[in-house]
Amino acid sequence: MESSNLIRHMNGRQRKQVGGTLPPENMNDMESDFSEPGIEDEREQGSLLLRGSPRRSGIRGELGNVSLLLFLYVLQGIPLGLGGSIPLILQSKNVSYKDQAFFSFVFWPFSLKLLWAPLVDALYFSRFGRRKSWLVPTQYLLGLFMLYLSAKVDSLLQSKGGPDVVTLTAVFFMLAFLAATQDIAVDGWALTMLSRENVGYASTCNSVGQTAGYFLGNVLFLALESPDFCNRYLRIVPKDTGIVTLSDFLFFWGVVFLISTTLLAIFKRENVRGRRTTTTPEETQGVMETYKLLLSIIKMPTVFTFCLLLLTAKVLGHYWIHEGVTFGYLPGGNVIFSTLFVFQMGFSAADAVTGLKLMEAGVPKEQLALLAVPMVPLQIFLPVVISRYTAGPRPLDIFYKAFPFRLLIGLEFALLVWWTPSVKQEGAFPVYYYAVVLLSYALHQVALYSMYVACMAFHAKVSDPLIGGTYMTLLNTVTNLGGNWPSTVALWLVDPLTSKECQGAAGQSCGSSEEALLCVKEGGVCVTTLDGYYVESVVCVVMGLAWWVWLGKKMRRLQEQSPAAWKCRVN
């Protein structure tokens, strides 16, 4: 995380937490949320002495398990990366922004995992293994879906009348749903596969593996699929196609999923509950008990308001929702709630649409994908630095100071999109143009992480530990859901806000795709007179500034509330 939303489809993963002092943002680390360890250290040590078996020393004794976890998370990142690459491919085929908005539903399953996570946690075949009961069939289905899609994807992208966006959305939604289910199972298995002293490596495997998988499925695929990139950097004799096609890529990874899952099912055994080992055993909470607990939390007035605010709080990014939700606890919360949507509009156009607009202006999709590579070390480095300034009693001060800079960067993105066509020379862009884009992305990351880390620090500061994991899981689920629907809305609004006219053909217009085709047929050309992206950019920034001036200081005063104001009760 999830990952920046600067170019949403360049990195569409759901963002994980950065930094061990912050609460986990992965919504369905279900083992940490719904299970508690059940064997005391003294019993472990006594059992080890009786068996004469020394405790494993460090990570070296579990390199096999760590490698397996890393590989499973890499597999998880593949369908996510492919899902993030499809919007760029669709944009190269000139689909409408309404179609892009429809396809963005593909990114929703990771925001809804809590709906079926208790089932994954509680229902299983004990002989086969608690996590393998879900992991094996899920990965088989992923492999089969990829093999099926490899035979159909070319026709779906090149169907008569344009790409079949509805079918593509349905298929990739299923891939994302299966990947989310696999994530629940692997997250839970990680906590019992590793010994207690090494269980901290589970989050590292998650972050590194999923990032690597996303890179393979997105950046590497888009580069190898591009004829221009391959002819320029990888070939001696130019060809009209890339080194790989989407069909080839899907087929290869479908086979990898099937083979690796078969080997996993045969050779890897789960820890048997009750066996005395250095790993942590699991206790199962019933499905109904889990759902009742979640319902009891949601029914609390403060939490209900909290969730409503979360769901309306991410047209600027799911990273800074928490500071808004807390308004529901305060006097005058209804007034603040009614204006919170204004605050969220500040960043939506820049985050959801900018990358697609750069492609529309002529920037190759593989170049946009490759620009994500130098952002990775920056994304690792920034939280470490920023956390030094948010560790005190007033973390939201950093949020407040970064807010206007984040808005200004949104305007800079609009200027960048406007400037892009004039820089293009002989079908290509000069090096200095990409340097400007890279610098813009870096500044965006600084502002984004300043707000993100500040909000996570504030959330950790005020969270009630009484019901810990379940409470956090619910809020993180709602947070991520609140981080998806605004992007869908922002994409959908681009076309209605855009005005075009037909030049060169009298009596024709370009109000719809059919009218645009008729204009071209009559010898005319559709010219954009008002781009909805610029309308969104200006309106969003104005609304964001209004929020910052009017309510920003009130938000900072939330830090002055006593700890008792944030406590909750669950019946």
DSSP 217: I
Residue with tokens 């360049």: 10
Query: SS3 helix, strand, coil % of the chain, rounded to 5?
Result: 70, 5, 25
d(CA 174, CA 51): 47
Burial group, residue 349, by CB count within 10 angstroms (0-12, 13-18, 19+): buried
* 322 shares its domain with 274: no
**Closest to 175 measured CA to CA, from 270, 105, 263, 259:** 105
Burial group, residue 257, by CB count within 10 angstroms (0-12, 13-18, 19+): buried
Mean pLDDT for the chain overall: 76
Q: What is the pLDDT of residue 207?
A: 77
* 267 shares its domain with 308: no
d(CA 84, CA 222): 10
d(CA 12, CA 346): 20
Is the residue at 2 inside a domain?
A: no
DSSP 5: S
End residue of a domain, out of 231, 251, 284: 284
CB 209 within 8 A of CB 69: yes
* 278 shares its domain with 348: no
**Angle, helices 246-267/132-157, rounded to nearest 10 degrees:** 170
* Three-state secondary-structure class, residue 525: strand
CB 477 within 8 A of CB 27: yes
CB 309 within 8 A of CB 333: no
* 79 shares its domain with 119: yes
Provide the pLDDT confidence category of residue 453 given band limits of 50, 70 and 90. confident
Q: What is the pLDDT of residue 471?
A: 56
CB 193 within 8 A of CB 272: no
Is the residue at 9 inside a domain?
A: no
Is the residue at 119 inside a domain?
A: yes
CB 319 within 8 A of CB 451: yes
Query: What stretch of H or E contains 500?
Result: strand 499-503
**Highest mean pLDDT, choosing among 70-84, 302-316, 545-559:** 70-84
* 151 shares its domain with 228: yes
Q: What is the pLDDT of residue 322?
A: 35
CB 481 within 8 A of CB 108: yes
The mean pLDDT value for 263-272 works out to 82
Is the residue at 517 inside a domain?
A: no
Is the residue at 207 inside a domain?
A: yes
Q: What is the pLDDT of residue 568?
A: 56
**Closest to 454 measured CA to CA, from 315, 309, 320:** 320
pLDDT in tens, 272-318: 544 444 444 455 556 777 777 777 767 766 556 545 544 544 433 33
* 263 shares its domain with 131: yes
Give the dihedral of Cα atoms 450, 453, 458, 461; nearest 10 deg.
Answer: -140
Higher pLDDT, 494 or 23: 494
Residue with tokens 């406007």: 418
- Name, in order, each residue with C-beta under 8 angstroms of 536's C-beta and a sequence gap of 6 or more: 348, 349, 353, 490, 493, 494, 497
Q: What is the pLDDT of residue 533?
A: 93
d(CA 138, CA 149): 16
* 250 shares its domain with 363: no
* CATH number of the domain bearing residue 201: 1.20.1250.20
pLDDT in tens, 166-205: 999 999 999 999 999 998 888 888 878 888 777 777 877 8
d(CA 4, CA 378): 11
d(CA 284, CA 298): 22
Q: How many CB atoms lie within 10 A of CB 45?
A: 12
pLDDT at 12 over 60: no
pLDDT in tens, 381-438: 888 888 888 888 888 888 889 989 989 999 999 999 999 999 988 878 999 999 999 9
DSSP 503: E
Whole domain around residue 66: which residue ranges?
A: 62-284
End residue of a domain, out of 259, 284, 309: 284
Is the residue at 78 inside a domain?
A: yes
* 332 shares its domain with 411: yes
Q: What is the pLDDT of residue 454?
A: 79
* 490 shares its domain with 571: yes
* 425 shares its domain with 564: yes
**Closest to 164 measured CA to CA, from 154, 176, 174:** 154
d(CA 111, CA 481): 5
**What are residue 57's phi and psi, to 5 degrees?**
-95, 110
Is the residue at 105 inside a domain?
A: yes
* 307 shares its domain with 352: yes
CB 534 within 8 A of CB 414: yes
* 156 shares its domain with 259: yes
**Closest to 309 measured CA to CA, from 331, 332, 291, 329:** 329
Domain count across the chain: 2
Q: What is the pLDDT of residue 329?
A: 38
d(CA 206, CA 213): 10
Query: What stretch of H or E contains 528?
Result: strand 525-530
pLDDT in tens, 96-155: 899 999 999 998 898 888 888 888 877 888 888 888 999 999 999 999 999 999 999 989
The mean pLDDT value for 529-552 works out to 84
pLDDT in tens, 517-539: 888 888 888 888 899 999 989 98
Q: How many CB atoms lie within 10 A of CB 519?
A: 24
Most distant CA atoms of the chain, gap in Å: 93
Is the residue at 513 inside a domain?
A: no
CA 332 to the chain's CA centroid = 33
Q: What global pTM score does this model have?
A: 0.75
Q: How many CB atoms lie within 10 A of CB 256?
A: 17
**Closest to 365 measured CA to CA, from 244, 239, 225, 488:** 225
End residue of a domain, out of 221, 251, 284: 284
> 154-158, 216-220, 286-290: which has the minimum mean pLDDT?
286-290
CB 218 within 8 A of CB 11: yes
Q: Which residues pair with 428 in a beta bridge?
A: 425
Do strands 525-530 and 499-503 pair parallel, antiparallel, or not at all (unpaired)?
antiparallel
